[in-house]
Amino acid sequence: MPRTDILRAVETSAGSMGLAEKGFLWAFSWLDTRFRIQDYWGMSKDAYHHMHRQMPLTHAEKYKLRIIWYWYPLYCLGGISFLAFVILVISGTVLGLYYVPGGEGTPSPAYLSMEFIMVDLPFGYIMRSIHHWTTHFMVAAVFLHMCRVYFTGAYRNPRELNWLIGVALMFFTIFFGYSGYLLPWDSLAFGAATIGINMASSTPLVGSWMAKALFAGTTLSGQTVTRMYFLHVFILPVLVTGLILAHLFIVWVQGIAEPH
């Protein structure tokens, strides 16, 4: 309502309007002619009704996609991998307080310390189980995350670099699991180490160097478990943490790929 109309209403209502009402309307019309209060109020009401006219659209509706709302939970798999990594760091730190990385003798200090964690240490059994099962969980999540990225085509320009970082992460995640598997230094670990050292030794050209770097020699020894321990608790955590941070930073900069 224009200011003149408001003022006329104030004057003609004479006795029927109290002083407070008259004062309010006069002040309102004075402000309205200067700050367009009614206009802006109307505009924001229009905007509100425009936005809330219907239920919010789903992503697939908004972009007129013929696919795949049922893919969306799979977009959590990278986050799930990250969560698993955090749980592994925490539970691994607790295990590291009691584990002894020595492979000499039978039984070895490594084996005895695992036995201590499993049998004597309060909550040791559950801590090791959490570490063990979260490893399986992480390997599965990383693999499925990679499948999601592949099947939604999210590896394409401009995300090639993040795919390559992901390939390194997949490799290091598996190697993380393998190096941990050897640490109890029981017969299972010894068997797995035998396969591993043979694989490393048969690398073309650099086989013996590879065996020495990863297994602390061209044959298995008490040193092997100490070397695996160092890889497991220092080299790999530093590499994987750095790569995950770079990976997530790139996701943050580029945003998630739109499905199409």
Least Å distance, CB 256 to ligand HEM, is: 4
| 86 is a contact residue toward ligand HEM (CB under 6 A) | no
Which long-range CB contacts under 8 A does 186-195 form with residues at least 24 apart? Answer: 186/111, 186/114, 189/225, 190/220, 193/220, 193/224, 193/228, 194/220
Residue nearest ligand HEM by beta-carbon distance: 166
Least Å distance, CB 154 to ligand HEM, is: 3
| 137 is a contact residue toward ligand HEM (CB under 6 A) | no
Distance separating alpha carbons of residues 248 and 69, to the nearest angstrom? 24
| 153 is a contact residue toward ligand HEM (CB under 6 A) | no
What is the amino acid identity at position 26? W
Least Å distance, CB 88 to ligand HEM, is: 10
Strands (DSSP E) contained in the chain are none
- Bond into 107 cis (ω within 30): yes
| 174 is a contact residue toward ligand HEM (CB under 6 A) | no
Report in angstroms the alpha-carbon separations of 215 from 161, 207, 224. 31, 12, 5
Distance separating alpha carbons of residues 148 and 154, to the nearest angstrom? 8
| 251 is a contact residue toward ligand HEM (CB under 6 A) | yes
| 244 is a contact residue toward ligand HEM (CB under 6 A) | yes
Q: Which is nearer to ligand HEM, 225 or 231 (CB)?
A: 231
Backbone dihedral angles phi then psi of residue 121, each to the nearest 5 degrees: -70, 125
Least Å distance, CB 241 to ligand HEM, is: 10
Least Å distance, CB 150 to ligand HEM, is: 7
Q: Restricting to residues 5-44, which ones interact with ligand HEM according to CB under 6 A? A: none
Q: Looking at 25, 29, 77, 124, which residue binds ligand HEM (CB under 6 A)?
A: 77
| 169 is a contact residue toward ligand HEM (CB under 6 A) | yes
- Bond into 237 cis (ω within 30): no
Report in angstroms the alpha-carbon separations of 30 from 15, 37, 40. 22, 10, 15
Instruction: Please count the residues of the chain.
Output: 260
| 237 is a contact residue toward ligand HEM (CB under 6 A) | no
Q: Which is nearer to ligand HEM, 58 or 219 (CB)?
A: 58
| 75 is a contact residue toward ligand HEM (CB under 6 A) | yes
Angle ∠(159,175,136) on CA atoms, nearest 5: 90
| 82 is a contact residue toward ligand HEM (CB under 6 A) | yes
Beta carbons within 10 angstroms of residue 63's beta carbon: 12
| 98 is a contact residue toward ligand HEM (CB under 6 A) | no
Q: Looking at 25, 110, 154, 225, which residue binds ligand HEM (CB under 6 A)?
A: 154
Using CB under 6 A, list all residues that contact ligand HEM: 75, 77-79, 81-82, 85, 142, 145-146, 149, 154-155, 159, 162-163, 166-167, 169-170, 173, 244, 247-248, 251, 256-257
